[in-house]
Amino acid sequence: MTAGSSALRRTRWRDRIVAALVLVAVWMLLWGVFSWATLAGGIVVAAVVLKVFPLPAVTFAGRPHPLGLLRFAVRFAGDLVRASVQLAVLAFRLGHQPRSAIIRVPLRVPSDLVLTLTGEAVSLVPGSLIVDTDQASTTLYIHVIGVADRDAVERFRREVYATEARIVRAIGSEAEIGMLGRPVPVRRREDS
């Protein structure tokens, strides 16, 4: 057995343990009761789920960067408040029909983890929702409410790229952080 296969085996076990812990935590939160029986039930359910529905390997080449994580958390909280206020204003404007669009955003970092985390962060902000992803090209398709013109579409697209950059700077590898210097993919005529 080589050192590389041993490290890969340890990584797989670590990923399974993390997935099991998350599943148990979700199970207990869903029940809303913190007891030994709920914990035991969560462990059994997590074991069955992981055995019957094995998760694909998600590579995590980076490491947590505390300052980057703090920047992401603070900005994300600010985005939540700002978007909630903007959405509330749209909801209470009588006679105004807000326009919406589905925007295509090809990400710069070709990572399933970055694609997932960026999509989740964007979807959690009120007024936007991921409607589709293209894993092969790491592209998000996002439904956005309150876009009046192409300038608003481009502003939102830049916000998604900024979110991607904050996530990569929070947990990415040096190579992934270097990819942020790539030019933003050019918008084609048919993109909205």
112: Cβ contacts below 8 Å, ≥ 6 apart: 58, 59, 135, 138
Helix (H, G, I), strand (E, B) or coil at 65: coil
Low-confidence ranges of the chain (pLDDT < 50): 190, 192
CB-based contact 43:20 (threshold 8 Å): yes
Bridge partners (DSSP) listed for residue 134: 139
Query: What confidence score (pLDDT) does residue 54 get?
Result: 77
Query: What confidence score (pLDDT) does residue 30 get?
Result: 86
Q: Give the DSSP letter of residue 109.
A: S
CA–CA dist 25, 41 (Å, integer): 11
CB-based contact 106:132 (threshold 8 Å): no
CA–CA dist 26, 42 (Å, integer): 8
Q: What mean pLDDT value characterizes the chain? A: 86
Of residues 191, 120, 125, the one with CA closest to residue 153: 191
Query: What confidence score (pLDDT) does residue 53 get?
Result: 84
pLDDT in tens, 100-146: 999 999 999 998 889 989 998 999 888 899 999 998 999 999 999 98
Of residues 163, 155, 51, the one with CA closest to residue 117: 163
CA–CA dist 185, 119 (Å, integer): 17
Query: What confidence score (pLDDT) does residue 11 get?
Result: 67
Query: What confidence score (pLDDT) does residue 32 get?
Result: 85
